[in-house]
Amino acid sequence: MQGKASPAAKIFLMTIIFILYAPIFYLVFYSFNSGGSMSGFEGFTLDWYRELLGDTRLLIIVLNTLVIALLSALFATMIGTFGAIGIHALKRSKNSILGLNSVLIVSPDVIIGASFLILFTIAGIRLGFYSVLLSHIAFSIPIVVLMVLPKLAEMNPSLIDAAKDLGASRWHVFTKVIFPYITPGIFAGFFMALTYSLDDFAVTFFVTGNGFSTLSVEIYSMARQGISLHINALSTILFLFTILLVGIYYVISQRSGLKLGGFRR
């Protein structure tokens, strides 16, 4: 480790973080404004939240969002984990497949969304819950792969030989050695997939149909109809939830990170 950062560097960092977070705090702040707009703070109120909670349509959308996030993260984690194991076992084509994987991650959501829309239309899949779920699973898989692969690469290959040597079948090698070893990566992948799904606007916007909506799409359409502090309240809730997820992820990776730190000699 190098010495402490200079005061100038610290101030720079604080400024950047402040600039990044300021709009969010501004938005959160006005979600408690009793005046109807973001132009002047008139007084504290929880009315906007109360109204949100009374809005069953919105509650259903929240539920949809959560269900999509959880299910897509779950499937993506399963598929991505096995995918990563498969890719790890490859020798020659490994790098090209990894390249394809990264391309999926960095390519613009709009393009991915549009291509899913074309795909679903051609395949005759009705736009709605399933189309959203499928596309979320699809764009989460590369993320999971990317989180699990480093763990596999870090694993000493002689552990697998050792397990076989001690009588383990392929299945036992997987359940007793590989899986426990890469669990932190799997969790990291799961939470990443969860946040990606919760966040996603562009892809969902393309592939969702009439009558099905997720929070980010809903916030977008509310914003288009005109400024209302409902948006602020809803965004605040979403923001807090994301922070909660990041917190959980942090705790998990810390815990396994400590143990992992011990692994390395």
- Could you tell me the smallest distance in angstroms from the CB atom of residue 103 to another protein? 30
Angle made by CA atoms 235, 240, 242, in degrees to the nearest 5 = 95
- Could you tell me the smallest distance in angstroms from the CB atom of residue 179 to another protein? 10
Distance CA 245, CA 235 (A): 15
Distance CA 152, CA 154 (A): 5
Instruction: Name the residue among 33, 79, 71 with its Cα closest to residue 236.
Output: 33
Tokens of 72: 């897509």
By beta-carbon proximity to another protein, the closer residue of 164 and 237 is: 164
- Could you tell me the smallest distance in angstroms from the CB atom of residue 180 to another protein? 4
By beta-carbon proximity to another protein, the closer residue of 57 and 92 is: 92
By beta-carbon proximity to another protein, the closer residue of 126 and 259 is: 259
By beta-carbon proximity to another protein, the closer residue of 4 and 92 is: 92
Distance CA 255, CA 247 (A): 12
- Could you tell me the smallest distance in angstroms from the CB atom of residue 203 to another protein? 36
- Could you tell me the smallest distance in angstroms from the CB atom of residue 263 to another protein? 4
Q: Is 211 left (phi over 0), alpha (psi -120 to 50) or beta?
A: left
Q: How many Cβ atoms from other residues are within 10 Å of residue 223's Cβ?
A: 13
By beta-carbon proximity to another protein, the closer residue of 163 and 194 is: 163
List of residues contacting another protein (CB under 8 A): 156, 158-159, 161-169, 172, 176-177, 180-181, 259, 262-263, 265
